[in-house]
Amino acid sequence: MPELQRLGPDHAPALLAFERENRAYFAGSIPDRGDDYFAHFATRLSELLAEQDAGLHHLHVLVDGEGAVLGRVNLIDVADGCAELGYRIAERAARQGLATAAVAEVCDLAATEYGLTALRAVTTLDNAGSRAVLARTGFVPTGEIELDGRPGLSYTRDLRATP
């Protein structure tokens, strides 16, 4: 069973492999990270880990038994008891319930370990899988948005309520 782990520097090689292997797959449903992300991966990861240490983010990876990254579930821009949820699951691990389980676990961590009271999330209308994960984990739509030029929805989850 995959394990959710807090992102650390030791995850760097597996995380970069995950992002490279799934780049085209992710670009089909979410904005591409761009070439600069890959060219400066080590620097950006170091910055993110420093921001995590400062309490600005809570970053997680979903790791299989061999140490390969199967997904990411992140809480970014932590402020005033709230953060934005973002997640991505490898193509080879999609449609197995991993996103739902990992998002549910991070929601629990957000409330119990990180002291957050609410989460926000966004997805495009054409990303039915992501919309289903959000619905199954207690998020409710709050409005229409545009995301990378595509129509989407914003969501929120009150962590003080039972999903």
From CA 123, how far away is CA 30, in angstroms rounded? 8
CA 34 to chain centre: 18
pLDDT value at residue 30? 77
The single-letter DSSP state of residue 65 is T
pLDDT digits (tens, 9 = 90+) for 96-112: 999 999 999 999 999 99
Query: What is the per-residue pLDDT across 80-92, written as a single tens digit (0 to 9) for each?
Result: 999 999 999 999 9
- H or E element at residue 69: strand 69-79
In angstroms, rounded to a whole number, what is the distance separating the alpha carbons of residues 108 and 116?
A: 10
What's the confidence (pLDDT) of residue 31? 76
pLDDT score for 14: 98
User: What pLDDT shows up at residue 162?
Assistant: 65
pLDDT tens digits, 117-133: 999 999 999 899 999 99
Q: What's the whole-number mean pLDDT along residues 46-57?
A: 98
- Angle at the Cα of 64 (from 62 to 66), degrees rounded to 5? 135
* Sign of the C-alpha dihedral computed for residues 30, 31, 36 and 42 taken in this order: negative
Q: What is the pLDDT of residue 133?
A: 97
Structure-model confidence comparison of residues 137 and 147, the more confident one: 137
Cα–Cα distance measured from residue 149 to residue 131, given in angstroms and rounded to the nearest whole number: 18
Is it the case that residue 59 has pLDDT exceeding 60? yes
CB atoms within 10 A of CB 42: 11
Is the C-alpha dihedral spanning 31, 36, 42, 43 positive or negative? negative
Reported as type and span, the H/E element at residue 115 is: none
The pLDDT score that the predictor gives to residue 139 is: 98
Domains of the chain plus CATH, in order, are: 3-158 (3.40.630.30)
Secondary element (H or E) of residue 138? none
